[in-house]
Amino acid sequence: GAGVSQSPSNKVTEKGKDVELRCDPISGHTALYWYRQSLGQGLEFLIYFQGNSAPDKSGLPSDRFSAERTGGSVSTLTIQRTQQEDSAVYLCASSFWRQGVSGANVLTFGAGSRLTVL
């Protein structure tokens, strides 16, 4: 597509429920990122996929969070047993970034999925 598409744009759930957030990156982009932005806060790195390499999961805050990227394209971020502190905007970004190649790693972000846990 023309841009990074995220769905749903808004999700309200009850504490303890599982949620799935979807990201459809720009076609041909090899790298995909998930960030979390809490109200008035910065961009907290969650996870990073680069081509066929093992993902960098160093930013996932707990084992309730997981993500996968199928076929090198669409990614799903899953939050199990949601807590109120999980309420935030979850941003996905993609870039045309190849391992070992220097160059500008320009991230294109989606509009985000706003998660509210009641």
Q: Which of 15, 17, 41, 66 binds other proteins (CB under 8 A)?
A: 41
Report the DSSP beta bridge partners of residue 14: none
Binding mask 72-91 for other proteins (x = CB under 8 A): -------------------x
The verdict on 100 binding other proteins (CB under 8 A) reads yes
The number of beta carbons lying within 10 Å of the beta carbon of residue 71 is 5
Answer yes or no: are the C-beta atoms of 105 and 98 closer than 8 Å. Answer: no
The verdict on 110 binding other proteins (CB under 8 A) reads yes
At 56, list the tokens: 């960098």
The verdict on 40 binding other proteins (CB under 8 A) reads yes
